[in-house]
Amino acid sequence: MGWSDLGGGAGWGQAGCCRTGIRPSGPRLCTPASARGSPGYQAARQILALAEARGYEPGTSQARLIFSAFSCWSEPVENGVRAAQRAREGLIAGGDLANAGYTYSAVSGLLDCAPTLNACVVEVQAGLAFLRRTGNEQSGEALDSYRWLADAVRGQSAIVTGEAIPIDWYAGNPQALLFAHINHAIAAAIFGDLADLERHTTAAMPLLPTVLGLYPDAVARLLRGLALAGQARSAEGGDRGGLLAELDEVARWLAGRAADAPDNFLHLLRLTEAERAWAVGDFRAAALAFDAARHEAAQRQRPWHRALIAERAARFYLAHGLEHVGYDLLTQARQEYAAWGAAAKAAQLDWAYPTLQPQHEATAGADVGAAVRAADAGAAGGR
Protein backbone atom coordinates (compact mmCIF):
# COMPACT_ATOMS: atom_id res chain seq x y z
CA MET A 1 0.00 0.00 0.00
CA GLY A 2 1.45 3.40 -0.98
CA TRP A 3 1.31 6.74 0.74
CA SER A 4 -1.42 8.00 -1.60
CA ASP A 5 -3.77 5.40 -0.14
CA LEU A 6 -3.47 7.08 3.27
CA GLY A 7 -4.41 3.92 5.07
CA GLY A 8 -7.66 3.25 3.23
CA GLY A 9 -7.73 0.56 0.60
CA ALA A 10 -10.75 2.13 -1.11
CA GLY A 11 -9.64 5.69 -0.38
CA TRP A 12 -10.90 8.37 1.93
CA GLY A 13 -13.49 10.11 -0.21
CA GLN A 14 -16.89 10.65 1.38
CA ALA A 15 -15.39 9.47 4.65
CA GLY A 16 -17.65 9.07 7.58
CA CYS A 17 -16.74 10.23 11.05
CA CYS A 18 -17.38 7.99 14.03
CA ARG A 19 -16.11 7.69 17.58
CA THR A 20 -13.66 4.94 16.67
CA GLY A 21 -12.17 6.84 13.77
CA ILE A 22 -12.56 8.12 10.24
CA ARG A 23 -14.29 5.50 8.13
CA PRO A 24 -12.85 5.13 4.62
CA SER A 25 -15.49 4.66 1.95
CA GLY A 26 -16.24 5.76 -1.58
CA PRO A 27 -13.83 7.29 -4.12
CA ARG A 28 -10.46 8.65 -3.23
CA LEU A 29 -9.87 12.21 -2.20
CA CYS A 30 -6.68 12.03 -4.25
CA THR A 31 -7.89 14.23 -7.11
CA PRO A 32 -5.75 16.83 -8.86
CA ALA A 33 -5.90 20.28 -7.33
CA SER A 34 -7.19 22.62 -10.02
CA ALA A 35 -8.49 25.58 -8.05
CA ARG A 36 -9.08 26.78 -4.53
CA GLY A 37 -11.79 24.55 -3.17
CA SER A 38 -10.24 21.41 -4.70
CA PRO A 39 -12.16 18.32 -3.56
CA GLY A 40 -9.36 16.76 -1.52
CA TYR A 41 -8.42 19.89 0.38
CA GLN A 42 -11.95 21.04 1.17
CA ALA A 43 -13.11 17.58 2.18
CA ALA A 44 -10.06 17.14 4.40
CA ARG A 45 -10.72 20.46 6.12
CA GLN A 46 -14.36 19.54 6.76
CA ILE A 47 -13.53 16.12 8.12
CA LEU A 48 -10.83 17.51 10.41
CA ALA A 49 -13.10 20.27 11.73
CA LEU A 50 -15.85 17.74 12.48
CA ALA A 51 -13.49 15.33 14.23
CA GLU A 52 -11.91 18.12 16.29
CA ALA A 53 -15.32 19.45 17.30
CA ARG A 54 -16.39 16.05 18.58
CA GLY A 55 -13.06 15.19 20.18
CA TYR A 56 -12.74 11.84 18.46
CA GLU A 57 -9.45 9.95 18.63
CA PRO A 58 -7.82 8.42 16.80
CA GLY A 59 -10.32 9.82 14.28
CA THR A 60 -9.06 13.38 14.66
CA SER A 61 -5.48 12.31 14.05
CA GLN A 62 -6.55 10.25 11.04
CA ALA A 63 -8.34 13.29 9.66
CA ARG A 64 -5.29 15.44 10.35
CA LEU A 65 -3.21 12.97 8.33
CA ILE A 66 -5.56 13.39 5.37
CA PHE A 67 -5.43 17.18 5.74
CA SER A 68 -1.63 17.12 5.80
CA ALA A 69 -1.58 15.38 2.44
CA PHE A 70 -3.79 17.93 0.63
CA SER A 71 -3.08 21.22 2.37
CA CYS A 72 -0.15 22.06 0.06
CA TRP A 73 -2.57 23.07 -2.70
CA SER A 74 -3.99 25.94 -0.65
CA GLU A 75 -1.63 26.53 2.31
CA PRO A 76 2.15 26.77 2.84
CA VAL A 77 3.76 23.36 2.74
CA GLU A 78 5.00 23.91 6.30
CA ASN A 79 1.40 23.58 7.52
CA GLY A 80 1.14 20.11 6.04
CA VAL A 81 4.45 19.04 7.57
CA ARG A 82 3.37 20.21 11.03
CA ALA A 83 -0.05 18.59 10.64
CA ALA A 84 1.54 15.25 9.72
CA GLN A 85 3.88 15.35 12.70
CA ARG A 86 1.01 16.22 15.02
CA ALA A 87 -1.12 13.46 13.50
CA ARG A 88 1.68 10.97 14.15
CA GLU A 89 1.63 11.68 17.86
CA GLY A 90 -2.11 11.10 18.08
CA LEU A 91 -2.06 7.99 15.92
CA ILE A 92 0.69 6.38 17.97
CA ALA A 93 -1.11 7.25 21.19
CA GLY A 94 -4.28 5.73 19.73
CA GLY A 95 -2.52 2.56 18.61
CA ASP A 96 -3.00 3.20 14.89
CA LEU A 97 0.57 2.40 13.89
CA ALA A 98 -0.26 1.68 10.25
CA ASN A 99 -1.51 5.21 9.59
CA ALA A 100 1.21 6.66 11.81
CA GLY A 101 3.70 5.29 9.30
CA TYR A 102 2.06 7.23 6.48
CA THR A 103 2.76 10.52 8.26
CA TYR A 104 6.38 10.20 7.11
CA SER A 105 5.19 11.05 3.60
CA ALA A 106 5.59 14.66 4.78
CA VAL A 107 9.33 14.23 4.19
CA SER A 108 8.71 15.40 0.60
CA GLY A 109 7.58 18.78 1.90
CA LEU A 110 10.12 18.88 4.71
CA LEU A 111 12.95 18.53 2.18
CA ASP A 112 11.82 21.79 0.59
CA CYS A 113 11.04 23.85 3.70
CA ALA A 114 13.38 22.64 6.47
CA PRO A 115 16.17 25.15 7.18
CA THR A 116 18.84 22.45 6.84
CA LEU A 117 19.23 19.04 5.28
CA ASN A 118 20.00 17.64 8.72
CA ALA A 119 16.41 18.21 9.84
CA CYS A 120 15.20 16.15 6.89
CA VAL A 121 17.77 13.42 7.51
CA VAL A 122 16.67 13.10 11.15
CA GLU A 123 13.06 12.65 10.02
CA VAL A 124 14.01 10.12 7.33
CA GLN A 125 16.07 8.04 9.74
CA ALA A 126 13.29 8.09 12.33
CA GLY A 127 10.79 7.12 9.66
CA LEU A 128 12.85 4.23 8.35
CA ALA A 129 13.30 2.88 11.88
CA PHE A 130 9.58 3.24 12.66
CA LEU A 131 8.50 1.61 9.41
CA ARG A 132 10.85 -1.31 9.95
CA ARG A 133 9.47 -1.86 13.44
CA THR A 134 5.88 -1.78 12.21
CA GLY A 135 6.49 -3.92 9.12
CA ASN A 136 5.64 -1.25 6.53
CA GLU A 137 8.38 -2.13 4.06
CA GLN A 138 6.81 -0.41 1.04
CA SER A 139 6.71 3.02 2.68
CA GLY A 140 10.27 2.44 3.84
CA GLU A 141 11.32 1.91 0.23
CA ALA A 142 9.78 5.27 -0.65
CA LEU A 143 11.75 6.99 2.12
CA ASP A 144 15.05 5.40 1.23
CA SER A 145 15.71 7.57 -1.83
CA TYR A 146 15.48 10.70 0.33
CA ARG A 147 18.34 9.31 2.40
CA TRP A 148 20.28 8.73 -0.83
CA LEU A 149 19.67 12.34 -1.95
CA ALA A 150 20.79 13.80 1.38
CA ASP A 151 23.96 11.71 1.37
CA ALA A 152 24.71 12.71 -2.23
CA VAL A 153 24.44 16.47 -1.79
CA ARG A 154 26.22 16.37 1.57
CA GLY A 155 29.10 14.50 -0.05
CA GLN A 156 28.62 11.33 1.98
CA SER A 157 28.13 9.17 -1.10
CA ALA A 158 29.40 9.46 -4.64
CA ILE A 159 27.10 10.32 -7.53
CA VAL A 160 27.77 8.29 -10.66
CA THR A 161 26.71 10.04 -13.84
CA GLY A 162 24.19 7.95 -15.72
CA GLU A 163 23.65 5.73 -12.70
CA ALA A 164 20.70 3.42 -13.30
CA ILE A 165 18.03 2.96 -10.67
CA PRO A 166 17.69 -0.76 -9.90
CA ILE A 167 14.05 -1.12 -10.88
CA ASP A 168 13.89 -4.63 -9.48
CA TRP A 169 14.32 -3.13 -6.02
CA TYR A 170 10.90 -1.53 -6.43
CA ALA A 171 8.98 -4.46 -7.89
CA GLY A 172 5.34 -3.93 -7.03
CA ASN A 173 6.03 -0.47 -5.60
CA PRO A 174 5.81 2.09 -8.43
CA GLN A 175 5.45 4.96 -5.96
CA ALA A 176 8.85 4.20 -4.44
CA LEU A 177 10.27 4.03 -7.97
CA LEU A 178 8.78 7.46 -8.68
CA PHE A 179 10.39 8.94 -5.56
CA ALA A 180 13.72 7.44 -6.58
CA HIS A 181 13.46 9.15 -9.98
CA ILE A 182 12.39 12.45 -8.39
CA ASN A 183 15.26 12.46 -5.91
CA HIS A 184 17.80 11.52 -8.57
CA ALA A 185 16.37 14.35 -10.68
CA ILE A 186 16.75 16.81 -7.78
CA ALA A 187 20.39 15.77 -7.47
CA ALA A 188 20.84 16.18 -11.23
CA ALA A 189 19.32 19.68 -11.13
CA ILE A 190 21.52 20.72 -8.20
CA PHE A 191 24.72 19.33 -9.76
CA GLY A 192 23.90 20.62 -13.23
CA ASP A 193 23.64 17.24 -14.96
CA LEU A 194 21.14 17.90 -17.75
CA ALA A 195 21.38 14.38 -19.19
CA ASP A 196 20.45 12.75 -15.88
CA LEU A 197 17.77 15.37 -15.27
CA GLU A 198 16.16 14.58 -18.62
CA ARG A 199 16.45 10.82 -18.11
CA HIS A 200 14.93 10.72 -14.64
CA THR A 201 12.12 13.19 -15.34
CA THR A 202 11.18 11.29 -18.49
CA ALA A 203 10.92 8.13 -16.40
CA ALA A 204 9.02 9.90 -13.63
CA MET A 205 6.17 11.39 -15.65
CA PRO A 206 4.29 8.12 -16.40
CA LEU A 207 4.44 7.29 -12.67
CA LEU A 208 2.76 10.51 -11.49
CA PRO A 209 -0.67 8.86 -11.03
CA THR A 210 0.81 7.10 -7.99
CA VAL A 211 0.97 10.48 -6.20
CA LEU A 212 -2.15 12.00 -7.69
CA GLY A 213 -3.05 15.11 -5.70
CA LEU A 214 0.06 14.96 -3.49
CA TYR A 215 3.00 17.38 -3.21
CA PRO A 216 5.63 15.27 -5.06
CA ASP A 217 3.51 15.71 -8.19
CA ALA A 218 4.50 19.40 -8.25
CA VAL A 219 8.18 18.69 -7.59
CA ALA A 220 8.31 16.26 -10.49
CA ARG A 221 6.68 18.73 -12.86
CA LEU A 222 9.08 21.53 -11.91
CA LEU A 223 12.05 19.25 -12.56
CA ARG A 224 10.56 18.19 -15.87
CA GLY A 225 10.23 21.85 -16.83
CA LEU A 226 13.90 22.48 -16.07
CA ALA A 227 14.87 19.47 -18.19
CA LEU A 228 12.73 20.62 -21.12
CA ALA A 229 14.12 24.15 -21.02
CA GLY A 230 17.67 22.87 -21.02
CA GLN A 231 16.96 20.64 -23.99
CA ALA A 232 15.14 23.40 -25.87
CA ARG A 233 18.16 25.72 -25.65
CA SER A 234 20.19 23.41 -27.85
CA ALA A 235 17.45 21.83 -29.97
CA GLU A 236 16.43 22.90 -33.45
CA GLY A 237 13.37 22.81 -35.68
CA GLY A 238 10.45 20.59 -34.84
CA ASP A 239 12.20 19.03 -31.85
CA ARG A 240 12.51 22.45 -30.26
CA GLY A 241 8.87 23.24 -30.87
CA GLY A 242 7.75 20.01 -29.22
CA LEU A 243 9.95 20.65 -26.18
CA LEU A 244 8.61 24.19 -25.79
CA ALA A 245 5.03 22.99 -26.13
CA GLU A 246 5.55 20.48 -23.31
CA LEU A 247 7.30 23.17 -21.26
CA ASP A 248 4.30 25.44 -21.75
CA GLU A 249 2.07 22.70 -20.34
CA VAL A 250 4.27 22.53 -17.24
CA ALA A 251 4.08 26.32 -16.85
CA ARG A 252 0.29 26.32 -17.18
CA TRP A 253 0.02 23.58 -14.55
CA LEU A 254 2.26 25.50 -12.14
CA ALA A 255 0.31 28.70 -12.81
CA GLY A 256 -2.86 26.99 -11.63
CA ARG A 257 -1.17 25.82 -8.45
CA ALA A 258 0.48 29.21 -7.86
CA ALA A 259 -2.89 30.95 -8.04
CA ASP A 260 -4.09 28.90 -5.06
CA ALA A 261 -0.87 28.49 -3.07
CA PRO A 262 1.68 31.18 -4.03
CA ASP A 263 3.87 30.38 -1.02
CA ASN A 264 4.55 26.95 -2.48
CA PHE A 265 4.50 27.47 -6.22
CA LEU A 266 4.84 31.09 -7.38
CA HIS A 267 8.65 31.15 -7.24
CA LEU A 268 8.72 27.82 -9.10
CA LEU A 269 6.44 29.22 -11.79
CA ARG A 270 8.70 32.28 -12.20
CA LEU A 271 11.76 30.02 -12.47
CA THR A 272 10.04 27.99 -15.17
CA GLU A 273 9.11 31.17 -17.04
CA ALA A 274 12.70 32.42 -16.78
CA GLU A 275 14.09 29.17 -18.14
CA ARG A 276 11.65 29.25 -21.05
CA ALA A 277 12.51 32.84 -21.92
CA TRP A 278 16.21 31.95 -21.83
CA ALA A 279 15.54 28.98 -24.11
CA VAL A 280 13.93 31.20 -26.77
CA GLY A 281 16.54 33.97 -26.47
CA ASP A 282 14.36 36.61 -24.81
CA PHE A 283 16.96 38.24 -22.55
CA ARG A 284 14.71 40.85 -20.98
CA ALA A 285 11.89 38.45 -20.14
CA ALA A 286 14.34 35.93 -18.71
CA ALA A 287 16.13 38.54 -16.58
CA LEU A 288 12.86 39.86 -15.18
CA ALA A 289 11.53 36.37 -14.50
CA PHE A 290 14.73 35.28 -12.75
CA ASP A 291 14.56 38.43 -10.65
CA ALA A 292 10.91 37.73 -9.79
CA ALA A 293 11.76 34.13 -8.89
CA ARG A 294 14.53 35.28 -6.57
CA HIS A 295 12.23 37.86 -4.99
CA GLU A 296 9.47 35.32 -4.36
CA ALA A 297 11.85 32.67 -3.03
CA ALA A 298 13.37 35.19 -0.61
CA GLN A 299 9.96 35.63 1.05
CA ARG A 300 9.81 32.06 2.32
CA GLN A 301 11.96 29.27 3.70
CA ARG A 302 12.81 27.17 0.66
CA PRO A 303 16.60 26.70 0.96
CA TRP A 304 17.45 24.53 -2.03
CA HIS A 305 14.93 26.36 -4.20
CA ARG A 306 16.58 29.70 -3.35
CA ALA A 307 20.03 28.29 -4.04
CA LEU A 308 19.02 26.70 -7.34
CA ILE A 309 17.24 29.84 -8.55
CA ALA A 310 20.30 31.97 -7.74
CA GLU A 311 22.58 29.52 -9.54
CA ARG A 312 20.35 29.27 -12.61
CA ALA A 313 20.17 33.08 -12.79
CA ALA A 314 23.96 33.25 -12.43
CA ARG A 315 24.50 30.84 -15.29
CA PHE A 316 22.06 32.82 -17.43
CA TYR A 317 24.00 36.05 -16.91
CA LEU A 318 27.39 34.39 -17.39
CA ALA A 319 26.14 32.87 -20.65
CA HIS A 320 25.42 36.43 -21.81
CA GLY A 321 28.81 37.79 -20.76
CA LEU A 322 27.59 39.65 -17.65
CA GLU A 323 30.29 38.41 -15.33
CA HIS A 324 29.89 40.75 -12.37
CA VAL A 325 26.23 39.99 -11.73
CA GLY A 326 26.81 36.35 -12.64
CA TYR A 327 29.60 35.80 -10.13
CA ASP A 328 27.69 37.69 -7.45
CA LEU A 329 24.77 35.33 -7.93
CA LEU A 330 27.06 32.29 -7.90
CA THR A 331 28.45 33.48 -4.59
CA GLN A 332 24.93 33.81 -3.22
CA ALA A 333 24.05 30.35 -4.50
CA ARG A 334 27.13 28.86 -2.86
CA GLN A 335 26.22 30.49 0.45
CA GLU A 336 22.69 29.13 0.22
CA TYR A 337 23.82 25.60 -0.63
CA ALA A 338 26.40 25.57 2.16
CA ALA A 339 23.92 26.88 4.75
CA TRP A 340 21.45 24.19 3.74
CA GLY A 341 24.13 21.54 4.22
CA ALA A 342 24.93 20.67 0.59
CA ALA A 343 28.69 20.45 1.13
CA ALA A 344 29.28 18.49 -2.08
CA LYS A 345 27.55 21.17 -4.16
CA ALA A 346 29.50 23.95 -2.46
CA ALA A 347 32.68 22.02 -3.18
CA GLN A 348 31.67 21.64 -6.83
CA LEU A 349 31.28 25.41 -7.15
CA ASP A 350 34.58 26.01 -5.36
CA TRP A 351 36.34 23.69 -7.81
CA ALA A 352 34.71 25.22 -10.89
CA TYR A 353 35.02 28.83 -9.71
CA PRO A 354 38.00 29.07 -7.31
CA THR A 355 37.70 32.86 -7.11
CA LEU A 356 34.36 32.68 -5.32
CA GLN A 357 34.68 34.03 -1.80
CA PRO A 358 32.15 32.60 0.72
CA GLN A 359 32.28 35.75 2.82
CA HIS A 360 31.59 38.02 -0.15
CA GLU A 361 28.40 40.07 0.09
CA ALA A 362 26.44 39.54 -3.10
CA THR A 363 25.20 42.74 -4.70
CA ALA A 364 23.39 41.17 -7.60
CA GLY A 365 20.04 42.77 -6.89
CA ALA A 366 21.16 46.20 -8.08
CA ASP A 367 23.15 44.78 -10.99
CA VAL A 368 20.17 42.88 -12.40
CA GLY A 369 18.38 46.14 -13.07
CA ALA A 370 21.50 47.58 -14.67
CA ALA A 371 21.87 44.49 -16.85
CA VAL A 372 18.30 44.78 -18.10
CA ARG A 373 18.72 48.48 -18.82
CA ALA A 374 21.95 47.79 -20.70
CA ALA A 375 20.23 45.11 -22.76
CA ASP A 376 17.37 47.50 -23.55
CA ALA A 377 19.80 50.20 -24.60
CA GLY A 378 21.69 47.77 -26.81
CA ALA A 379 18.50 46.61 -28.44
CA ALA A 380 17.39 50.19 -29.07
CA GLY A 381 20.76 51.08 -30.56
CA GLY A 382 20.60 48.15 -32.92
CA ARG A 383 17.24 49.12 -34.34
Q: Which residues pair with 343 in a beta bridge?
A: none
The residue among 289, 288, 285 whose CA lies nearest residue 272 is 289
Q: 308 and 190 in contact (C-beta within 8 Å)?
A: yes
Closest CA to 182 of 255, 105, 236: 105
Q: Of the residues 105, 131, 150, which one is the last residue of a structural domain?
A: 105
All residue ranges of the chain with pLDDT < 50 are 1-37, 360-364, 366, 378-383
Task: Name which of 51, 35, 36 is nearest 12 in CA terms.
Answer: 51
What is the tally of structural domains in the chain? 3
Do residue 94 and residue 1 come from a single domain?
yes
**Digit-coded pLDDT (tens) for 18-50:** 444 444 333 344 444 444 446 667 788 888 888
Are 290 and 309 in contact, with CB atoms under 8 Å apart?
yes
In a shared domain, residues 119 and 186: yes
What is the residue range of 203's domain? 113-214
pLDDT in tens, 234-282: 998 789 999 999 999 999 999 999 999 999 999 999 999 999 999 999 9
Q: How far apart are CA 348 and CA 192, in angstroms?
A: 10
Q: Of 71, 105, 139, which residue is a domain's last?
A: 105
Check whether residue 135 and residue 89 sit in a common domain: no
Preceding amide of 58 cis, omega within 30: yes
pTM of model > 0.85: yes
